[in-house]
Amino acid sequence: MSGSSLVPVRQGSAAGPDVVVDDVGGDLLRSEQVLEPGYYWRAKATLGEHPEIEEGDALLLVDLIDFEEKLHSVQLLCHPRHGEGKYTFLIDDFIASFEPCQDADAIRAAEQQAILDRVTELQQELVSAQANPQLMLEAIKPQVDQAEKKHQYEAGQRQQRAENDRRERDRNLSKIHRRAARRSAAKGNPLALPKVAVGTNVSQLLTAGIDEGGVVQLREIADRQLVLAQAQANWLTKKTEEITGTLKELAPYAAEKAAVALARSSDALKRAERIRQGIESLDLYTGKGVDVFEVRDGPEAPTHVPLMIVQGKRYMEEELAAQADVGMSFDWRDQPQFFAELARNDALLNQVFPSERCVISMAVTRHERRYGKDMWANLINNLQNQLVFLLVRNGGKVHVVYSATPSHEAASRLFPTADELGNVFRGVDGSTITLRDVEFGERKKDFDDLALHYRRFLILLCGLDHRLRLLGEFYPPEQQINFMTADFQARYMRFYADQEAGSQIGDDLPWVSAWIKAKNTLVQSGSRVFVMNSDGAINNSPEVKRRHGLRFRERQFETAQIAQQEGARFYVTLATKDTWGHDRSEPNVKCYLEGESSGGDESWWLCLDGVSVDEIRRYLGSRRNWGMGVGYLRLFRRLEAFLAAEAEAEAPARAYLLQQATTHGGLPEHVARPALDVAVRNWRAARRGAALPGLDRLAELNEVLSLVAPEGYVPAGIESLLQRYLDACAAADPGRQPLLLTRSGSNRYVLYTTASDRDREPYPSVLSWGWVRRVVLEPTKTARHLREVSESLTWLHEALPASEAELRRYSGADDWFHKDAEPIRLRTYATIKRNLADAVVWEPVLRAGPGAGIPAEIFTTLAATCAQRQRANHTRSVLHLSLGIPVGVYGGGRKLSVVYMTARAEHVLYTYGDDAQRAAIRAQFTSRFHNARRGSEILAAPLEWALRVSEECLDGEALQVHKGEIPGVSSYQVDWMRLGISQNHKRHRGTVDRPGVKGDGKPSLDTHAHATLSLNRAFDELAGVGPLLRRRFYRQQLDRVQWDCRWEAPEKAKAKRKQILSQRYTPRTAQLSPLVWLESRNRSIAQSVFVAPLRKKES
């Protein structure tokens, strides 16, 4: 029987008032059988798909789900015995499986009475057992028997252990008193008859003549009484919990009573909700709660222009940032700035609106702003920033529309994407939910909620058009009544789906953040850099950050700066001014090109090597990238102006070079034009950002012309000279292989080859070698061979320097190109090895021990350094200066760590110095203290050397003095300095009042306790000759086998186990100083250098 054909017959119909007619089968149902929420239905049979629904179960009907004004499915509450939950059935399945239940109240009353009867029965059983001990004993007999067996087993184990202890004690006694033991055995040992003392008083037990056997029997009786009492307590607890659990079964029945009333009123509630939604929709049409403000006035759009509705949401700060400077703090309070710019700027008008007649949704910003520590202020202001409003354009007229009634505000776009609509009817496994699926009704509700937002938006537009004519004339007047119809929208509206996946042509641009990062990795000394006067520049200029009121001069940011190098860092020099008007210096300061500024202003500098104005313009027009922040938009707009002005100034010179390359060079224009761009970039980068020469400097301009050549072009004469050079290199050193050939901006050839063993010799064998040899070549005047102008080792980046153009790439070159930056400068890398060797100068001083004296040169240098650092300190406390002696270096892959032995610098000088040196350092050190006694106490305390591992202090010398601790980690944080101690899990920890004590009285250890190794053992582990790290590796390997293969299938687990166990331990690659490592015996001597002399002096 089809449930959708059930039609109630009205009063006075032919069928009468008490029947319902099935218009398909003609079957008659009584009127009380009509489907309505709030009534019970009985299952005709046990349902296979729902085994918890048994035959005869009465279930409450709570909801009817319609689709296109026809009944689709129903919802039933679970039976109260199963707790909360609902079942959903298609109407056909429901009619076939259920029938009306007229006696549901009686059924429910009987079910509840059955529960109460069980409670009464349990209570009676509990009372009877407490009144009759025999019943209690019968109830707990199985538990008592089980506890007895356990007790007997444990007692046997204790007796066996006691017997073993007695035998061991007897053996020991027989060894010590052999003769006495034989005499005692000859005389015999009289046995006392066991006596059982029943009393509990100690004096009574002693009076009764208790012996060892009696004590055992007393213990057995006491244990049996304990077992009996525990079993009784457990039985009572179990029965009490059963009563409580049974009473809880009544709660779902009470909840179902409330659900009956709610279900019977559900139709009225749904009707009221539909009326409320309808009234709210009418409010949108009539304009109640809708505010319209004029932004600009002008002529209306032509009548033939349809109404365009833009799908995606626009953001005010991003739209404005593409046309004008916008600060990082732009929020809802800055809306007047946007509206004022929109009123006067036609470029912004056409950017925001893609059509003359258009509607878009807009919010202030997509980013969350911080408004101090007040959470309420943060919430309110960010809600204002996310407030959505409409902008309506009609030719030159623009209006902003705010609505108090929820319509488009809750939606992320003005009309949904295909994926949004499809996801509503998509299952967890990706399948489509159709009309024949049970879940369809629930999903249809989600679809209605989604459609409500967009339906209200159209009602709002209809009201704006009918009341205010805000959209202008774009359809015949007689079609006004059809505004909400699909035919009207198809004829007079255009829906611009700018967020529909696959419907838009991509701009094939990488994300702007990745593009900026790639360009900035090309920076080198002499590169042109464009910098913004922003928080980023201030935060990366130590002098400006330190001196309040010192700021950069603005005009210098209109042109490019030249990068300079300081160690591994790059910086630009900027002029400053004193904004506070003080009579003090206004120096040129360094601004380091690194890091990011606070507040999300991440785009404050860009390396211009290889950047063209066309790329900048494409990013400025890429709305997809605008969400990355207004910082990069501000940078790119100013950069576009600079590069455009530069291109205009260079236009005559570029035209001359292009003409010469095509006319006299014989290059086609489509080849010559990109070659000219490369030539100008190479020439400029090789000359530290010099401007392109003008037509009045043809000699210099012809140098640029000599670089204009097709990609990969090598003259035939140079080709033969190059091959001859490569053959000579291979004969001299077969290990050197060619990798890459480039042409520099000075019209020389650059050859990259692999480094030889002799090249690697000055450096520690710690890092994975990644450097190559760079050789600059040029032909001799007679052009008979190539001569080497210069050579060096370099880190070959994936992107070549802007001053070079690739000509040829040899086999194997790709393995030497790197995406990551150079891990360490080679000069620093060589310094580390030299410092490890120079640290031996401390060995005589350290082995001699305290008071033996320090060589005058070392003492004078360190004392002067300490005095200078303390004098430069303007704080109220004395600086803690650390002396660091480098004793080792190790690494893995491209990560390098240096090991130092550290102590307080003045303390070291005082401890190892002679009497004169001690007097000098005491006077120098204590003079810094307000109380000289405090300084003397520090110097007189025992000296302790500490081990420290650093990845930062790599540029120092053999003796380094640092302000505070050396940056890095301490010894207890380094795995090769720790020994793990595990807890014995078979023993239990003690009670709360005696923490840290096991049940057997022995101290307890944490599960992951660690002990620090001695210096000798630690350096043995670092060098790979100690056993602890190797053992730890294989223990962890076994743990991985246990856990990683635990849930795998047998075959897969076997393969994974084999793969894990095939790995072998590989020691770290380390190099240690002779100060702590004896190479001839392959062991550490650090303990005898740093620790033993100090202990000898103390003893």
pLDDT tens-digit profile of 90-103?
Answer: 877 888 888 888 88
Please enumerate in sequence order all residues whose Cβ is within 8 A of that of 417, keeping only pairs 6 or more positions apart, or say none. Answer: 311, 497, 499, 500, 501
The answer to whether residue 582 sits within a structural domain is: yes
Please enumerate in sequence order all residues whose Cβ is within 8 A of that of 1074, keeping only pairs 6 or more positions apart, or say none. Answer: 836, 837, 839, 840, 843
Which one is predicted more confidently, 989 or 1040? 1040
Could you give the CA distance from residue 866 to residue 908 in angstroms, rounded to a whole number? Answer: 12
Mean pLDDT value of segment 813-838: 86
Mean pLDDT value of segment 428-456: 57
Please enumerate in sequence order all residues whose Cβ is within 8 A of that of 534, keeping only pairs 6 or more positions apart, or say none. Answer: 597, 601, 604, 631
Mean pLDDT value of segment 480-503: 83
Give the other-Cβ count within 10 Å of 744's Cβ: 21
DSSP summary character for residue 305: S
Quick one: pLDDT band at residue 429, thresholds 50, 70, 90?
A: very low
Q: Is the pLDDT of residue 844 over 70?
A: yes
The answer to whether residue 633 sits within a structural domain is: yes
Q: Is the pLDDT of residue 379 over 50?
A: yes
Whether 365 and 387 share a structural domain? yes
Whether 629 and 580 share a structural domain? yes
Could you give the CA distance from residue 189 to residue 203 in angstroms, rounded to a whole number? Answer: 27
From 839-848, 889-898, 1071-1080, the region with the lowest mean pLDDT: 889-898
Helices (H), 790-901: 826-838, 843-848, 856-871
Q: Is the pLDDT of residue 9 over 60?
A: no
Quick one: pLDDT band at residue 774, thresholds 50, 70, 90?
A: very high
**pLDDT (0 to 100) of residue 425:** 45
Whether 449 and 324 share a structural domain? yes
Question: Of 640, 660, 676, which residue is a domain's last?
Answer: 640
Whether 530 and 565 share a structural domain? yes
Q: Is the pLDDT of residue 1004 over 70?
A: no
Whether 530 and 658 share a structural domain? no
**pLDDT (0 to 100) of residue 1012:** 79
**pLDDT (0 to 100) of residue 296:** 93
Query: Which one-letter amino acid corresponds to residue 196?
Result: V
* Backbone region of residue 964 per phi and psi (left: phi > 0; alpha: psi in -120 to 50; beta: other values): left
Task: Determine the 3-state secondary structure of 139 from DSSP.
Answer: helix
**pLDDT (0 to 100) of residue 278:** 64
Which one is predicted more confidently, 989 or 735? 735
From 238-252, 382-396, 418-432, the region with the lowest mean pLDDT: 418-432
Mean pLDDT value of segment 77-89: 81
Q: Is the pLDDT of residue 935 over 80?
A: yes
b/e code 253-284 from CB counts within 10 Å (16+ = b)? beebeebbeebeebeeeeeeeeeeeeebbebb
**pLDDT (0 to 100) of residue 997:** 46
Asked if residues 725 and 783 have their Cβ atoms less than 8 Å apart, the reply is: no
Give the strands of the sheet with 561-562, arranged side by side: 561-562, 528-531, 605-607
Residue 459 structural domain: 285-496
Q: What is the pLDDT of residues 307-332, one digit of tens each?
A: 999 988 899 998 998 888 887 788 89
Could you give the CA distance from residue 904 to residue 911 in angstroms, rounded to a whole number? Answer: 11
Asked if residues 563 and 593 have their Cβ atoms less than 8 Å apart, the reply is: yes
The answer to whether residue 694 sits within a structural domain is: yes
**pLDDT (0 to 100) of residue 359:** 94
The answer to whether residue 802 sits within a structural domain is: yes
The answer to whether residue 897 sits within a structural domain is: no
What percentage of the chain carries pLDDT values higher than 90?
21
Whether 490 and 382 share a structural domain? yes
Quick one: pLDDT band at residue 249, thresholds 50, 70, 90?
A: confident
Q: What is the pLDDT of residues 678-730, one digit of tens each?
A: 888 888 888 888 888 888 888 888 888 888 888 888 888 888 899 999 888 88
Whether 362 and 470 share a structural domain? yes
Q: Is the pLDDT of residue 139 over 70?
A: no
Report the domain count for the chain: 5
Whether 417 and 390 share a structural domain? yes
**Cα distances (Å, whole numbers) of residue 114 to 109, 110, 120, 250, 755:** 9, 6, 10, 10, 91
**pLDDT (0 to 100) of residue 283:** 74
Whether 327 and 457 share a structural domain? yes
Whether 729 and 813 share a structural domain? yes
Phi/psi at 659 (5° precision):
-65, -45
* Stated pTM of the model: 0.61
**pLDDT (0 to 100) of residue 204:** 53
Q: What is the pLDDT of residues 148-203, one digit of tens each?
A: 777 777 777 777 887 887 787 777 666 665 555 454 455 554 433 333 443 445 45
Average pLDDT, the chain: 79
| Residue (of 340, 267, 348, 353) closest to 305 by Cα position | 353
Whether 686 and 732 share a structural domain? no
Enumerate the β-bridge partners of residue 512: none
**pLDDT (0 to 100) of residue 603:** 74
Q: Is the pLDDT of residue 430 over 70?
A: no
Q: What is the pLDDT of residues 514-571, one digit of tens each?
A: 888 888 888 888 889 999 888 888 888 988 888 888 889 888 888 899 998 887 788 9
The answer to whether residue 1014 sits within a structural domain is: no
Question: Of 467, 496, 525, which residue is a domain's last?
Answer: 496
The answer to whether residue 157 sits within a structural domain is: no
The answer to whether residue 225 sits within a structural domain is: no
Q: Is the pLDDT of residue 360 over 90?
A: yes
Token pair for 493: 């509206």
* Backbone region of residue 575 per phi and psi (left: phi > 0; alpha: psi in -120 to 50; beta: other values): beta
Whether 487 and 596 share a structural domain? no
Question: Of 822, 852, 885, which residue is a domain's last?
Answer: 822
Please enumerate in sequence order all residues whose Cβ is within 8 A of that of 1067, keeping only pairs 6 or more positions apart, or say none. Answer: 1023, 1024, 1029, 1030
